[in-house]
Chain A
Amino acid sequence: MDILLSGQLLIAALIIGSIYGLVALGLNLIYGTMRLLNIAYGDLVMIGGYVGYWLFTLAAISPIIAMLVAGVLTGLLGAALYFGLFRRQLSGRQSIERIEANSLLIFFGISIIIQNVTALAFSATPRTYNALDSLVQIGEISITQSRMAALLVCLGLSIFIVFFLRLSPLGLSIRALIQNRTASQIVGIDVNRVQLFAFVTGFALAGLAGALIGVTEQISPFMGFPFTIVAFVVIILGGLGNLAGGLLAGMLLGIIETYGVALTSANLRSILIYGVFILVLVLRPEGLLQKRRMT
């Protein structure tokens, strides 16, 4: 029982929760504003992981710098995909009605391409590296610098984004677009520009988080899928398109996973996550935190 009360376990839960929250935030921005189901999302996390790995291995660049590079690279990939594939889909009157199903298929293809190109380029062998691995001591708790950095960056960035959405005109436009696309056009929001911003930001967040995750986990071309699943579980828990709800849900899932595994066994991790997912879909499909809309 002692282990359940330890600060060590609590901080582990917070670290995982903050990573889940940030990863889901990016997915939610893209789904909320455009109804695009990005199931290649975890592969962007993987790209971020490799960027961090190679920059450190080849040039001894710290993961803190590498995460910015990874964010820029995945952001640019996002811009290319937006202009190349999705802008047309989003502006056609017929294609927008099928956008969820179409985007699912398109992103499925993108996911496979990214995974295979990575496997061809870097082989499928999992890799690890040791950076920021000295311990930080906070009272009784000791954690590695890399995990500390993940906690601070993910938490800080998530809070920053939530305030940005609440306080800036662009943030207000994003929230408006999430609620009603036609009304957003009517008030004169430059929908195309807001979509591009949400798309690129969502991609960048995944790459950035990936560079941090790659420090503590094995990097392989196929590491992304579990993150895609987790991100979808989190945004459904928090209510699709509800950005602040997704952050809380990420934290909640991190806590459930960490304490669940501590109580049972690491082998049950996936069962716990999928179990929560199915329970929520059955009991509260609109999400745990989504207020029931008045009609």
Chain B
Amino acid sequence: MQVLHGVDLTVQPSSITALVGGNGAGKTTTMRMLAGLLLPKSGTVMYQGKDITTWDAAKRVATGIALVPEGRLVFPDLSVEQNLRLGAISPSARPHTANRLEQVYSQFPRLRERRRQIAGTLSGGEQQMLALGRGLMSRPKILLLDEPSLGLAPMMVDQIFETISGLTSNGMTILLSEQNIGRALKMASQAYVIENGRISLDGEGWKLAAKPEVQRAYLGL
């Protein structure tokens, strides 16, 4: 089944780009295509000037693209630390595992406390931190965050968004897909609105947030 019909988007380095839209608009399909889990029928995916359309997921991770998937997809029967180690399983990242583990633990002290706990027994918010930490373990240049706030308690949502802002101030490139559109547009320097598998609007985040059609359709104003 064809979900996407014309998605043309560019992500600038060291900034947040938002991909916003309702349920079923094609956000997750786009993210999975960028991570190499799905192949597009037509069109190309370019990364740092190279055509990576036919690269598989493993190769994309090795060159610095990391997906933090919708629904988190942690390995439920493995410990927190094993999950994080798997984040650095790519040959390019594996030698840096210990180093990276220390950085992730200092960023998420909660994960350090729970490092021997089985991931399936963590709360939703903790699992989201784990998924984010696992994504960071591969030393990505670009992080694809697919609906990181989905299903989380409001306090947890605040914390996740704070972490995301923290990452960009350290120079990380982020593509953020969100249903929490107001939040996402506020943070993003560039944003795309996706509807029925097509990009319907794009522009600077704050400008999009001010558009009447966006406000009416998505922000309930």
Listed in ascending order, the chain A residues whose CB lies under 8 Å from chain B are 93, 169, 172-173, 175-176, 179-180, 182-191, 293-294
Interface string of B130-161 (1 = CB under 8 A from A): 00001000100000000000000000000000
By a CB distance below 8 angstroms, the chain A residues around B67 are 186
Given contacts A179-B77, A182-B37, A188-B58, contact A294 B87 (CB under 8 A): no
The docked-state distance in angstroms from the alpha carbon of A215 to that of B120 is 45
Given contacts A187-B61, A188-B62, contact A180 B120 (CB under 8 A): no
Are B69 and A183 in touch, CB under 8 angstroms? yes
- Asked whether any CB of chain A lies closer than 8 Å to the CB of B85, the reply is yes
Are B73 and A293 in touch, CB under 8 angstroms? no
Are A182 and B73 in touch, CB under 8 angstroms? yes
In chain B, what residue has the closest Cβ to A189? B89
In chain A, what residue has the closest Cβ to B87? A187
Are A175 and B78 in touch, CB under 8 angstroms? yes
Q: How far is the CB of A84 from chain B (nearest CB, A)?
A: 21
Are A189 and B78 in touch, CB under 8 angstroms? no
- Asked whether any CB of chain A lies closer than 8 Å to the CB of B14, the reply is no
Q: How far is the CB of A170 from chain B (nearest CB, A)?
A: 9
The docked-state distance in angstroms from the alpha carbon of A176 to that of B119 is 12
Task: Given contacts A93-B38, A185-B58, list 8 more A-B pairs with CB under 8 A.
Answer: A176-B75, A179-B77, A186-B35, A186-B37, A186-B73, A188-B60, A188-B93, A189-B89
By a CB distance below 8 angstroms, the chain A residues around B69 are 182-183, 186
Contact of B75 among A179, A185, A190, A293 (CB under 8 A): A179
- Asked whether any CB of chain A lies closer than 8 Å to the CB of B7, the reply is no
In which size bucket is the chain B interface?
A: 20 to 34
In chain A, what residue has the closest Cβ to B75? A179
Listed in ascending order, the chain B residues whose CB lies under 8 Å from chain A are 35-38, 56-58, 60-62, 67, 69, 73-78, 82, 85-87, 89-90, 93-94, 120-121, 134, 138
Are A169 and B89 in touch, CB under 8 angstroms? yes
Q: Which of B35, B58, B93, B94 has the most CB of A within 10 A?
A: B58
Q: Which of B57, B85, B134 has the most CB of A within 10 A?
A: B57
The docked-state distance in angstroms from the alpha carbon of A294 to that of B74 is 14
Q: How far is the CB of B132 from chain A (nearest CB, A)?
A: 13
Contact of B86 among A93, A173, A191 (CB under 8 A): A173
The docked-state distance in angstroms from the alpha carbon of A184 to that of B86 is 8
Are B74 and A183 in touch, CB under 8 angstroms? yes
The docked-state distance in angstroms from the alpha carbon of A187 to that of B56 is 12
In chain B, what residue has the closest Cβ to A186? B67
Contact of B89 among A173, A182, A293, A294 (CB under 8 A): A173
Q: Which of B35, B75, B76 has the most CB of A within 10 A?
A: B75
Given contacts A179-B75, A182-B73, A186-B37, contact A191 B58 (CB under 8 A): yes
The docked-state distance in angstroms from the alpha carbon of A180 to that of B69 is 13
By a CB distance below 8 angstroms, the chain A residues around B77 are 175, 179
Contact of B57 among A179, A186, A293 (CB under 8 A): A186
Q: How far is the CB of A263 from chain B (nearest CB, A)?
A: 37
Given contacts A173-B86, A173-B89, A293-B120, contact A185 B57 (CB under 8 A): yes
Are A172 and B120 in touch, CB under 8 angstroms? no
The docked-state distance in angstroms from the alpha carbon of A93 to that of B1 is 12
By a CB distance below 8 angstroms, the chain B residues around A184 are 86
The docked-state distance in angstroms from the alpha carbon of A185 to that of B69 is 11
By a CB distance below 8 angstroms, the chain A residues around B35 are 186
Are B78 and A176 in touch, CB under 8 angstroms? yes
Q: How far is the CB of B1 from chain A (nearest CB, A)?
A: 11
The docked-state distance in angstroms from the alpha carbon of A93 to that of B39 is 10
Q: What 6 A-B pairs come out closest when comparing CB atoms? A: A188-B61, A188-B90, A183-B73, A185-B57, A190-B58, A179-B75
The docked-state distance in angstroms from the alpha carbon of A179 to that of B76 is 7
Are B76 and A176 in touch, CB under 8 angstroms? no
Contact of A188 among B57, B75, B121 (CB under 8 A): B57
In chain A, what residue has the closest Cβ to B61? A188
Q: How far is the CB of A241 from chain B (nearest CB, A)?
A: 10
By a CB distance below 8 angstroms, the chain B residues around A183 are 69, 73-75
Q: Which of A186, A188, A190 has the most CB of B within 10 A?
A: A188
